[in-house]
Amino acid sequence: MSIFINNIKRIIRDKGNIINMILTPLIFIMFIMGNGNINKLNAAVIDKDNTSLSKMIVNMINSNVNLKDIKEEEINEKLLNEQIDYALVIDKGFTEKIIKGEDVKLRGYKIKETNISVPINIYINSFVSSIKNIAKSCGGDSKKFYKALEYYEDGSFKAEFKPLGNRKRVLTYSSLGFVVMGMLIFSLTSSNLSLEDKRNKTFYRVFSAPISTKSYMFQNTLSYYVLSIFQTIILFLFMIKVLGADFGPNIKSIFILFSAFSLVAVTLGFLISSISKDGRQAGAITSLVITPMCMLGGCFWPREIMPKFLIEISNFVPTTWVLKGAKKAFFSTGIWDIKYELIILLLFATVFFLLGIIKKADIDK
């Protein structure tokens, strides 16, 4: 594992790599996390159903926001005038349809250009989904359903449903886009060491020793991946210990998700170094890749503010899936909630690695 150890030493000794690895993302993270001027969410609920379930929804929302009393026809005006950040309409017959097992949804209204309402929106969706499962288990029996609802109200489900209108959690989630950006910058720039080895002939001298191309590539990739994981740990610890970040109840899942993205970033760097003739070309490609990928994936702003065609395009970049998975993990309790995003990230990593190998294979010829 001499190449693995040597690579780690070379990367750590370079101050530029340390800046890309830690300092650059931390500057942006500190700016986001330091913005403590996010007020408590102003919301409105129009309850047309007026049942025990709808009242429970109103009470839960009321405990986490400033609840405003408005009429349904005033929603658009209040949103545009920034008097409310979010509005929820519970239509008549909502509870009845839930008990019957019908597919019914609550109507939520927000201004797309803001992400302040993201936590409560996800919380409500999660709550409704769980209530549907409770209704299914009751087989349409309203008495059993309301009994289960009483258990919920008494606190039996508190471990599963936690209020999410937490400003620290909103700030933490917003800052994760810059963690992703930092991981891409570090992995893509540090992986260009192989091009430097080619330029100074070190790459070819390595193969005079008893080492195969596969072993060389594996040790290179492993060294970048280990350092990328280390980068993630350092950034997360700094955010938690120094900035007081709130990763919610599922930080292990978030770390696993970012570990998968580390593999994507490393294999993408491996691919870029494989198709580049020299460091200058690799640097140009890296610049062309990182910024659009971060912009499309929602690292700098919510994806919802982009035109529909850009949102559709963004589904083809890995940054979208790591942040979509993080949003789920922030407001859930299990790793299985993000299995879909994990699979997609691993597929991205596999494709990037295989494409890189195809190019590297030319060396053996």
The CATH number assigned to the domain with range 42-154 reads 3.40.1710
Q: Give yes or no for a contact between 49 and 94, defined as CB atoms under 8 angstroms apart.
A: yes
In this prediction, residue 118 carries a pLDDT of 64
pTM for this entry: 0.63
Work out the pLDDT band at 22, boundaries 50, 70, 90: confident
Mean pLDDT on 114-122: 62
In this prediction, residue 236 carries a pLDDT of 93
Distance CA 324, CA 338 (A): 9
Q: Output phi, psi for 48, to 5 deg.
A: -95, -10
Could you read off the pLDDT of 119-170 as tens digits, one per residue? 677 777 777 877 888 888 888 888 888 887 777 666 544 433 344 445 677 7
Mean pLDDT on 317-345: 87
Work out the pLDDT band at 347, boundaries 50, 70, 90: very high
Could you read off the pLDDT of 159-197 as tens digits, one per residue? 333 444 456 777 888 889 999 999 998 888 776 666 666
Sort residue 111 into left (φ over 0), alpha (ψ -120 to 50) or beta.
beta
Nearest C-alpha neighbor of 247 from the set 179, 153, 298, 319: 179
Proportion of the chain in helix, strand, coil states, percent, rounded to 5: 70, 5, 25
Distance CA 365, CA 362 (A): 5
Tokens of 280: 């200058």
Of the listed ranges 33-37, 43-47, 111-115, 350-354, the least confidently predicted one is 111-115
Cα–Cα separations (whole angstroms), residue 181 to 175, 320, 322, 339: 10, 12, 11, 22
- Confidence check: pLDDT of 257 > 70: yes
Q: Give yes or no for a contact between 187 and 271, defined as CB atoms under 8 angstroms apart.
A: no
Nearest C-alpha neighbor of 190 from the set 365, 2, 15, 1: 15
Distance CA 313, CA 293 (A): 10
- The strand pairing partners of 109, in sequence order, are 87
Q: Where are the domains of the chain?
A: 2-35+167-364, 42-154
In this prediction, residue 150 carries a pLDDT of 76
Biggest distance spanned by C-alpha atoms of the chain: 79
In this prediction, residue 162 carries a pLDDT of 40
> Which residue matches tokens 């040597």?
6
- C-beta neighbour count of 358 within 10 angstroms: 12
- The mean pLDDT value of the chain amounts to 80
- C-beta neighbour count of 31 within 10 angstroms: 11
Could you read off the pLDDT of 216-226 as tens digits, one per residue? 677 777 888 99
Percent of the chain scoring above 90 in pLDDT: 20
In this prediction, residue 259 carries a pLDDT of 94
